[in-house]
Structure 1
Amino acid sequence: MRALVWRAAPHLLDATHAGGDPLEEQREAQNPAGGASTTCVTSEQWTDGIGVVGVSGVVDMLTAPLLEEAIRTALAKNPRALVIDLTAVEFLASAGMGILVAIHDEVSQDVKMCVVAEGPATSRPLKLLGIADIIPLYSTVEEAVAALPA
Structure 2
Amino acid sequence: MTTSVADHDGVTVLTVTGEVDLATAPALETAIDAALDAGPDHLVIDLVAVSFLASAGMAVLVAAHQRAGDKTTIALVAEGPATSRQLKMTALDQVFDLHSTLDAALASVRRA
TM superposition score category, shorter chain reference:
over 0.9
- 2-side partners of 1:117 and 1:89: how far apart? 8
- 2-side partners of 1:139 and 1:76: how far apart? 26
- 1-side partners of 2:33 and 2:66: how far apart? 13
Question: What are the superposed Cα offsets for residues 28-81 of structure 1, whole Å, 9 maximum, x if unpaired?
Answer: xxxxxxxxxxxx010000123211000010000000011111111111111110
1:91 aligns with 2:52: yes
Highest relative contact order (Cα 8 Å, sep 6+), 1 or 2? 2
1:147 aligns with 2:111: no
Stretches of 4+ moved more than 4 A in 1?
none
Q: Which has the higher helix share?
A: 2
Match of residue 49 from structure 1? 10
TM-score (norm 2): 0.95
What is the 5 A alignment of 1:101-112? 101-112=62-73
Identity over the aligned pairs, expressed in percent? 49
In the TM superposition, what is the alpha-carbon distance from 1:110 to its structure 2 partner? 2.8
In the TM superposition, what is the alpha-carbon distance from 1:137 to its structure 2 partner? 0.5
TM-score (norm 1): 0.71
Q: Work out which of the residue numbers 36, 39, 48 in structure 2 matches 1:75.
A: 36
- 1-side partners of 2:54 and 2:46: how far apart? 15
- 2-side partners of 1:106 and 1:72: how far apart? 9
Residue type of the alignment partner of 2:84: S
- 1-side partners of 2:92 and 2:69: how far apart? 18
**Gapped runs of 5+ residues in structure 2?**
none
What is the 5 A alignment of 1:1-150? 40-148=1-109, 149=111
**Gapped runs of 5+ residues in structure 1?**
1-39
**Count, aligned residues:** 111
